Structure 1
Amino acid sequence: MPENDYIMRSLMFVPAHNEKLLQSASQKDVDVLLLDLEDSVQPTDNKAIARKNIKQRVSENFFGDKLIFPRVNDRESGQLLKDVTELTIPGIHGFVYPKSKSAEDVYFFDKLLETIEYEKGLPIGTYKIIPLIETTAAVLNAEQICKASPRVIAIAYGCEDFIADLGGIHDRDGKSLFTPRAIIAMAAKASNVIPIDTVHINVHDLQELEENLRLAKILGFEGMLVLNPIELPLVHQYFTPTEEEFENAKTLLQLAAEAQKDGKGVAVINGKFIGPPMIIAAKKVISRYERIKQRQV
């Protein structure tokens, strides 16, 4: 299965009607800007202002080489058609689609984008989709959501809406979030889609953020939704292979190649046999490290 070429370590929400926050976001080291048209843009009159701001800033290349994915309003809002009709413009890479409960929801959005692309004379598939997994149904349907459209390049977890739907408690240890996080990460990886972890609500508690990031990396996530720029350095640290991890991966591949050349069949590193899964993992580390370094040049 071909590798997903997108690097999405940090995806930061920015209320698109707030010009001060748009200005600040343009200067941050962030991989993806989620220019918000949904929850953070209230009252409803501000949504027209948000669309206008996005169109103007994107046309000016205000955000440089950052990936731009507006979060549109859901299909029952009465705002969705306005959002995508006005924002299917050069400089927009795709859209975050909220309240994606099923494959049918994503298929609907795919066909809406296809119709607009056709009407505007754009190549079909120009705009990508990041479904937001925010309900118990969405978690259980995560793999089908990933595979509902070739436009889907990542899925992101929205924990607060999920907890409200579940009727559970967002506990300090994250017990209520562990299972859905694991399901979402596995569904994404099974579909060659990037798994994006949920926001960290206590934005000023960087120790808690680091605990979350440590677990997110263990679970296989490749990025995180971000609410505050102060989170970005830690987020990038955890979702970027270290120099040591990179060098260890190269050493592992070198030993495996030498063992095969010498007819040994199996190599050993630090007392452990180097099997095919370790080789696959090492190649992924090297590829990710090199792609991130290329973006920083």
Structure 2
Amino acid sequence: MASSKLIVTKEHRRFIEFADAVRRQKTIGICFGQAGVGKTNSARAYASWDKLEPFLQDWGPRTDEDERMYAMCNRKRAVFYNPQVMTTAKLLKSELRVVSTRLSICVDEHLINQNNRSSPPHDRPGNVQLIIVDECERLNAVAVEYLRDFHDRTQVALILIGMPGMEKQFSRYPQLYSRIGFAHEYKALGQEEIVFVLQRWWTKLGLTLNMDDFTDAQAVGAILRVTRGNFRLIIRLFAQIERVMKINELTTITDEVVDAARSTLVIGYT
């Protein structure tokens, strides 16, 4: 599930370049990185899935006002899919077919409206150009083989997202591994990017981050130590920082405030 509004970082731009290359080459790409660094957010943003997913799930009568969503489907032509725990190949095939067919129908509706053409078949090649599968650790060997076979038969580009080590896991599937055209490591935020992100959060609280101010610099240093550049952890930490400041009627983020917020979180390996 996506978190807050996407902040465009260097890693997000690198993901876009990676996804564009996979789509252009009609190949298979793998993206791996620690939990919470932003892989899912970037993938959902690339497919505009926060907007398209509800539209495709709420399937029913349409109106002329839906053309804007049809146009977005036509521009994106990408499906984001997050499998359930222990998803079977049968369920994977069924769910991907449903969402891909619905996206394809919307693309056709846009083309019909734009070109005043008759309705073509909704599964025609090219309507769906990319499928992004998140949390691939949940897939068993048969499901992975289905994705490889689907790619071979349709030439639809495929991106598989997971934790570090997935590239070694997939080496056990030689038919799939030999088809991987790109591998992308999604890294945690660097210090400059963290400061950029924190400026947004300071602004959200009605404050101004000044790295020349000793108190602000100390607070940023404390956040760096706690989060190690993990985007999801920064979001969780700032929710607690906001709570601590509100309860104590504070107007400045200090390293003590960060430590108090950190004490309320359960933080694992980042």
Structure 1 or 2: larger strand share?
Answer: 1
Q: TM-score range by the shorter chain?
A: 0.3 to 0.5
Larger radius of gyration: 2
Higher relative contact order (CA 8 A, sep 6+): 2
Structure 2 length-normalised TM: 0.37
